[in-house]
Amino acid sequence: MAEAELISRFDALLADLDGVVYAGPQAIPGAVESLQRLNGIGVGLGYVTNNASRSPAEVAQHLRELGAPAEDQQVVSSSQAAAELLASMLPAGARVLITGGEALAREIELAGLVPVRSEAEDPVAVVQGFHPDLGWKDLAEAAYVVAAGALWVATNTDMSIPQARGMAPGNGTLVAAVAAATGRRPLVAGKPEAPLFHAAAKRLAADRPLVVGDRLDTDILGGNNAGFATVAVLTGVDTRESILAARTLERPSFLINDLTDLYRPYPAIEHDGDGRYRCGGASAERLGTSLRVSGNPADLDSWRAACAAWWAANPETPTAKAPSLEWLDH
Mean pLDDT of 295-320: 97
> Alpha-carbon Rg of the chain, whole angstroms?
21
What does 160-171 look like in DSSP terms, one character per residue?
Answer: EEEETTEEEE-H
pLDDT at 1: 42
Mean pLDDT (the chain, rounded): 95
Q: Please report the pLDDT score of residue 164 as a whole number.
A: 76
Least trusted range by pLDDT, from 162-171, 201-210, 304-313: 162-171
Whether the Cβ atoms of residue 194 and residue 226 lie closer than 8 Å to each other: yes
Q: Alpha-carbon distance 197 to 223, whole Å? A: 7
Which residues is 265 bridged to in the sheet? 5
Task: Please give the Cα distance from 314 to 283 (Å, whole number).
Answer: 17
Average pLDDT, integer, range 134-154: 98
pLDDT number for residue 3: 77
pLDDT score, position 274: 80
Per-residue buried b or exposed e for 270-286, using 16+ beta carbons within 10 Å of the residue's own CB: eeeeeebbbbbebbbbb
Residue 4 and residue 69: Cα distance in Å, rounded?
Answer: 24
pLDDT, tens only, 74-125: 999 999 989 988 999 999 999 999 999 999 999 999 999 999 999 999 999 9
Mean pLDDT of 34-60: 94
DSSP 253: S
Confidence of residue 330 (pLDDT cuts 50, 70, 90): low
| pLDDT at site 245 | 98
Pairing of strands 151-154, 125-128: parallel
Residue 301 has pLDDT above 80, yes or no: yes
Tell me the percentage of the chain whose pLDDT exceeds 70: 99
Give catalytic residues, as residue numbers. Answer: 16, 18
Residue 302, classified by CB atoms within 10 Å of its CB into exposed (0-12), middle (13-18) or buried (19+), is buried
Mean pLDDT calculated for residue range 128-133:
95
